[in-house]
Amino acid sequence: MRHDHIISAKQLSRGDIETVLDHAADIAADPGAFADRHSDTLLGLLFFEPSTRTKMSFTTAMKRLGGDIVDMGSVESSSVKKGESLADTVRVVEGYTDALVLRHPMEGSAKMASEFVDVPLVNAGDGAGQHPTQTLLDLYTIRENAGFEDLTIGIMGDLKYGRTVHSLAHALTTVDARQHFISPESLQLPRSVRYDLHEAGAGIREHTDLDEILPDLDVLYVTRIQAERFPDESEYREVAGQYQIDADTLDAAKDDLTVMHPLPRVDEIAHDVDETTHAQYFQQAHNGVPVRMALLDLMLGGDQ
Amino acid sequence: MSDNDQQLRVSKIQNGTVIDHIAGGQALNVLAILGIDGTSGDSVSVAMNMPSDRLGHKDVVKVEGRELSQDEVDVLSLIAPAATINIIRDYDVVEKRRVERPSVVEGVLECPNHNCITTEAEPVDSRFAVGDDGVRCEYCDTIIRDDLPAHILAE
């Protein structure tokens, strides 16, 4: 891997992606072979906003590589509460650890933090910005289920504020997927992401109605429409129901459609979908461990 | 009326910089981007909306006793891409050059995204990549295409 820090999916080449995913597949096939790989390594977890899956999967990944974690804990119990800057916090914690994982509610926080530290830093989500390790486990799941060749994917829900979507769109462009974005007009992709996709020559189309495109999809990636983003609650209620799927919805889909979701879900995927062969979102979450093991191993020099 | 005649509408300066061919109406924004607000003691002359063959209407700014740095000239290009910079010493033009758009500007513009880390009390300057039709925050990716002067950081 060429990168000391993993800040954005935009920095990952097709080769980088394949390297991580191949290594993750090796780890998933024989996790015991990697159990003592980084027994002297401490990973610093700096989570400035709540997280369940991401934080636990980084913890699990580091421990399954033989290392350990130190956790800043909640913001309320840290020096942040005393007014310490993010720049100071990361400079202090880098002295305790061999690598850092940062989640922060503000866009650009991971990039800024990386400028103050020498140890590798991984962006575990920066506001509505990027979430590159989520993208890597998404790609792993997509490759396992549908492959990257001749891939048509629909991404539905909150495309404006969903950082997982922004990262994924960049990476799907790198692997030449056809991308369909389904959302209310008020939650379409932000200008910067559209600009990048256009510059990269991505094949994208935008829709307000899933029915227009569902039968063509190999993968449907659903995200939560966040009620709190709407200035008017009635405006939210008007669109929310249109972006929910259930088992009946999927009658119009290909038999081998893969349904994904970064979780947590609320009501955008009905529980009857869980019982279908389409549902891969729990496996997708489980894939976070081997993928993050692979990424940490590569960043910490495990490929040498 | 020649450009030289127009420049004489405001008095010649002995030493300093004349910024010519600023698009009409942008002179005050040029002063803002240079951090000139009259409090430093610099003698500044401004002529606005003068006829121009090249621009239709143009503004001219003369700053006495101050030669603009290349960094300042680069930043000017964001709002005055057609400007020419004349360095004056002892009433003579000793250097004349066009502005060039830089690839990056630092600490000049405020990111309009209130959730961008550069708007917080962190030890970091804003940094924008300069493109053909706008600038882009290198931290949060927000793109500004219109009304750049509205985002100039206050001194």
| Two tokens, residue A53 | 């899956």
Give me the pLDDT at residue B53, please.
86
CA B91, B93, B94, B100 dihedral sign is: positive
Residue A271 phi/psi, 5-degree rounding, is: -65, -20
CA–CA dist A224, B139 (Å, integer): 25
Q: Is A117 exposed, middle or buried (0-12, 13-18, 19+ CB in 10 A)?
A: buried
Give me the pLDDT at residue A76, please.
73
Give me the pLDDT at residue B10, please.
59
Residue A34 phi/psi, 5-degree rounding, is: -110, 10
Q: How far is A31 from chain B (nearest CA, A)?
A: 36
Report, as residue numbers or ranges, the catalytic residues of A.
53-54, 82, 103, 131
Distance of CA A299 to the CA centre of its chain: 18
Give me the pLDDT at residue A285, please.
97
The model's pLDDT over B33-78, given as tens digits with 9 standing for 90+, comes to 787 877 877 789 999 999 988 888 999 999 998 888 877 887 788 8
In order along its 304 residues, chain A shows pLDDT tens digits of 656 899 999 999 999 999 999 999 999 999 999 999 999 999 999 999 988 899 999 999 999 999 999 998 877 777 677 789 999 999 999 999 999 999 999 999 999 999 999 999 999 999 989 999 999 999 999 999 999 999 999 999 999 988 899 999 999 999 999 999 999 998 999 989 999 999 999 978 999 999 999 999 999 999 998 777 777 888 888 888 889 999 999 999 999 999 999 999 998 999 999 999 999 999 999 999 999 999 999 999 865 4
Give me the pLDDT at residue A301, please.
86
| Two tokens, residue B108 | 């000049």
Contacts of B115 in chain A (CB under 8 A): 105-107, 127-128
The answer to whether the Cβ–Cβ distance between A112 and B140 falls below 8 Å is no
Give me the pLDDT at residue A68, please.
98
Q: Is B96 marked as a binding-site residue? A: no
Residue B48 phi/psi, 5-degree rounding, is: -120, 145
Give me the pLDDT at residue B75, please.
78
| Two tokens, residue A297 | 């191993």
- Closest by CA to A182, choosing from A229, A217, A141, is A217
Query: Closest chain A residue to B142 measured between Cα atoms?
Result: A192
Q: Fold identical between A9-130+288-299 and A132-285?
A: yes
| Two tokens, residue A32 | 């015991």
Q: Indicate the length of chain B as a whole number.
A: 155
Contacts of A115 in chain B (CB under 8 A): 124
Query: Closest chain A residue to B113 measured between Cα atoms?
Result: A107
CA–CA dist B1, A193 (Å, integer): 49
pTM above threshold 0.90: no
SS (H, E, C) chain A: CCCCCECCHHHCCHHHHHHHHHHHHHHHHCHHHHCCCCCCCEEEEEECCCCCHHHHHHHHHHHHCCCEEEECCCHHHCHHHHCCCHHHHHHHHHCCCCEEEEEECCECHHHHHHCCCCCCEEEEEECCCCCHHHHHHHHHHHHHHCCCCCCEEEEECCCCCCHHHHHHHHHHHHCCCEEEEECCHHHCCCHHHHHHHHHCCCEEEEECCHHHCHHHCCEEEECCCCHHHCCCHHHHHHHHHHHCECCCHHHHCCCCCEEECCCCCCCCECHHHCCCCCECHHHHHHCHHHHHHHHHHHHCCCCC
Residue B58 phi/psi, 5-degree rounding, is: -140, 160
The answer to whether the Cβ–Cβ distance between B141 and A129 falls below 8 Å is yes
Give me the pLDDT at residue B1, please.
47
Break chain A into its structural domains and give their ranges. Answer: 9-130+288-299, 132-285
Omega of the bond leading into A264 within 30 degrees of 0 (cis): yes
- Say which DSSP state B72 is in: H
The fold of the A132-285 domain, in CATH, is Rossmann fold (3.40.50)
Which superfamily, per CATH, for A9-130+288-299? Aspartate/ornithine carbamoyltransferase (3.40.50.1370)
- Say which DSSP state B150 is in: G
Q: Per-residue pLDDT for B79 more than 80?
A: yes
Q: Which residue in A106, A115, A190 is closest to B120 by CB distance?
A: A106
Residue pointed to by tokens 């290349």: B70
Q: What domains lie within chain B, and their CATH numbers?
A: 14-96 (3.30.70.140), 102-149 (2.30.30.20)
Residue A116 phi/psi, 5-degree rounding, is: -110, 0
Strands A99-104 and A42-47: parallel
Give me the pLDDT at residue A221, please.
98
Residues 6+ apart with CB under 8 A from A282: A274
> pLDDT category, B132, cuts 50, 70, 90?
confident
The answer to whether the Cβ–Cβ distance between B115 and A87 falls below 8 Å is no
Give me the pLDDT at residue A1, please.
60
CB A299 within 8 A of CB A99: yes
CA angle, residues A147, A149, A155, in degrees to nearest 5: 70
> pLDDT category, B114, cuts 50, 70, 90?
very high
Distance of CA A275 to the CA centre of its chain: 24
